[in-house]
Structure 1
Amino acid sequence: MSHDGALPLNSLGFAKAPQDTRVVVAMSGGVDSSVVAAQLAEEGYDVIGVTLQLYDHGAALAKKGACCAGRDIHDARRVAEEMGFPHYVLDYENVFKDAVIDEFADSYLAGATPVPCIRCNERVKFKDLLETAKDLDADCMATGHYIQRVMGANGPELHSAADANRDQSYFLFSTKPEQLDYLRFPLGHLPSKDATRALAAKYGLSVADKPDSQDICFVPNGNYAQVIEKLRPGAADPGDIVDPEGNVLGSHNGVIHYTIGQRRGLGIGGLADPLYVVKLDVDKKQVVVGPKDMLATRKIPVREINWLGDEPFTSRAEWHVAVRVRSTRPPRDAIIRPISDTEAEVELFVAEEGVSPGQACVFYDTDSPRIFGGGWIWRGY
């Protein structure tokens, strides 16, 4: 970035004083985003806090450990008052339902295992909220995500967080280059969550000891089936549990109660070898079970790819990278073979179990913390 003035780049990368730099902070009411807002306010930036109200005013699905419910809006507003910057609450309920919740229900019913947090980042936070930040004449938007934005030779790059235990790159692979230009992630370089809480205590924030949110915000206590039944009545129709040849082994009370790779709670005893859910056939209302080796997958079809490499995705016949097929697993060596700009086949060097349609497949550099984007795993095996 070239600039003529004598001012050095500030901590957000702009060649002007912090007080002349406006930053919108996406505030969920949790510790992470509160620390980001407080830190930037303390550094003298022109901070505007924005909290999204995503569903039901926190009433119908209110619970502990969710984000963006009534309590969280209150907490975010309180931090803004403590640090002396303006705070707005935006009603994104309809956008959230159309862009995130409905697809979550439909893909779950289609036997997939969706990751709605990625869609929320992609379709709500980094799209509509980002546009709102620009409408407010902000120079950039900051979030509390644990990921790093690093300036490279060809512009900003997405890198994993310094703390591998907190890294949220799996949920942010669909961030577009032009969004990355505008986004800032001030927590990505911190060594641990303890460091974040220490900052919260330093700023005297009321949320310093608030527990982390664990679940998907609109799914109370992780009970997907309950939410889907509410959204799609009749989705819990009973059916048969069958083996790969179609022999009936038992019955179930709704495909939505099962996930690929599940072993416990199948209710079919007396069999010599343990059985796992290997497929969910929504049309036939069947839960297909089989031995563990049926879960192992080496070739994964991926589509809706967001590519963050320096060269065009289709400029090579294959890319040697590491891929992550679940948020809880480490990246594994793989080859990506592009089919088009947005589709590819991913081949794992070593088979993974429980690869499920609806999950993301995120691409990592094998030699650095850089993220090359990713796509969505599709169709059953």
Structure 2
Amino acid sequence: MRVLAAMSGGVDSAVAAARAVEAGHEVVGVHLALSAKPGTLRTGARGCCTVEDAHDARRAADLLGIPFYVWDFAERFTEEVVEDFVAEYAAGRTPNPCLRCNERIKFEALLDKAIALGFDAVCTGHYARLSTVDGEIELRRSADDGKDQSYVLASLTTDQLRHAMFPLGDSTKTAVRAEAAERGLGVAEKPDSHDICFIPDGDTRKFLGDRLGEHAGLLVDDETGAVLGRHAGVHGFTVGQRKGLGIDAPAPDGRPRYVLALEPVSGTVRVGAADRLAVDRIVATRPVWPSGQPLGGAQGPVECVAQVRAHGGISPAVAELVDGEVVVQLREPLKGVAPGQAVALYRTDAAAGDLVLGSATITTTG
């Protein structure tokens, strides 16, 4: 097969590309330039897609003996990821930019271009597994639970997954680093990227404030209705937030307060005790089913596992489709679940690992 290897400059994508070469595929490496001003992305080990990362990716491609290119996706990234991120916060929702990047950039824009150029698949360093059963594609958790990235891939369509390769799905991170060292890849010990790549200093509130300006509102006790303070905009908060609320007076019981809900129209931020964060019901819209079958083809309610964050936020659940929306009843309440997040649904299969049933965007909780 002709394979386009997306090479971020990290150890995972380098080893994934190496395995694709070793498997006998015709591999071409590509690094995505996601900013017109690379200095606005994180530098060093804290981010991804920087100039340094492009150099690391090129060196890995040279070692593997494969052609290498840098493709400019900066405009598309700004529109699909950065502007979406800002708009979601302005609407009082909490987006996941990494999920959106995978969905809109790596497996839409990149994959579309790859197929147009005659490639059969895009290879990435994601930790997830793909299999085909009776002609149907299946997305499953990786063998390394601590690195599993199926949550941020659960919004991919059947067709996108048919053109995807995840060579690291059966490996652990420790094994991948050891393999990189054995292959002589200079990124073997390079730290993992983290945080949001397009916010250079990590100050999300300032980043949003610079773009959205000030929209004053009130901080309100959700239980009593008492006004506790003022703020410069709901975009500076997210459900579950504890620090930086700007409330001077402690709660009557001395317990810390958390953000419980955001009301962008009125500018109200509702806060309260931690136990009021717990929700056991989620309603989500715009579902995507990796296998092409809603809820794995089941009729009626389905016993499953729901996950609301990339790492953590997991509960046994019952899910069903109601008028096109996914209604999830959690067996164990979860805290800090916010509109805008994705809920991924899994079916537990002890023999083959957790199977991704689908993903949808959370609209309300209760």
TM-score (norm 2): 0.91
3-state secondary structure, aligned to 2:287: strand
1:32 aligns with 2:12: yes
Q: Which runs of 5+ in 2 are unaligned?
A: none
Letter in structure 2 aligned against 1:74:
H
Query: Which of 179, 190, 195 in structure 1 is aligned with 2:175?
Result: 195
Letter in structure 2 aligned against 1:77:
R
Equivalent pair of 1:154/1:310 in contact (CA under 8 Å): no
- Mapping 1:92-103, distance limit 5 Å: 92-103=73-84
User: Aligned pair count?
Assistant: 357
Pair 1:265–1:312, CA change in 2 (3 A): closer
3-state secondary structure, aligned to 1:149: strand
2: CA distance between counterparts of 1:231 and 1:329?
30
2: CA distance between counterparts of 1:98 and 1:193?
32
1:76 aligns with 2:60: no
Q: Which residue of 2 aligns with 1:220?
A: 200
- Mapping 1:1-381, distance limit 5 Å: 21-64=1-44, 65-190=46-171, 192-232=172-212, 234=213, 236-244=214-222, 245-266=224-245, 267-271=247-251, 272=253, 273-309=255-291, 311-313=293-295, 316-329=299-312, 331-341=314-324, 343-367=325-349, 368-379=353-364
Equivalent pair of 1:322/1:364 in contact (CA under 8 Å): yes
2: CA distance between counterparts of 1:310 and 1:106?
29
TM-score (norm 1): 0.88
Pair 1:185–1:30, CA change in 2 (3 A): same
2: CA distance between counterparts of 1:77 and 1:42?
18
Equivalent pair of 1:308/1:372 in contact (CA under 8 Å): yes
What per-residue deviation string (whole Å, max 9, x for no partner) do you get for residues 145-192 of structure 1? 0000012124221010000000001100011111111111000100x2
Q: Which runs of 5+ in 1 are unaligned?
A: 1-20
Pair 1:258–1:49, CA change in 2 (3 A): same
Equivalent pair of 2:124/2:165 in contact (CA under 8 Å): yes
3-state secondary structure, aligned to 2:306: strand
What per-residue deviation string (whole Å, max 9, x for no partner) do you get for residues 213-271 of structure 1? 01122122432122223333x1x444321112432112334333322112233333332
1:33 CA displacement: 0.4
2: CA distance between counterparts of 1:369 and 1:194?
21
RMSD: 1.9
What per-residue deviation string (whole Å, max 9, x for no partner) do you get for residues 304-357 of structure 1? 10123575448622111111012221531111120245x221111122111111
Q: Greater CA deviation, 355-364 or 265-274?
A: 265-274
Identity of aligned residues (%): 40
3-state secondary structure, aligned to 1:81: helix
1: CA distance between counterparts of 2:329 and 2:86?
29
3-state secondary structure, aligned to 1:222: coil
Letter in structure 2 aligned against 1:89:
V
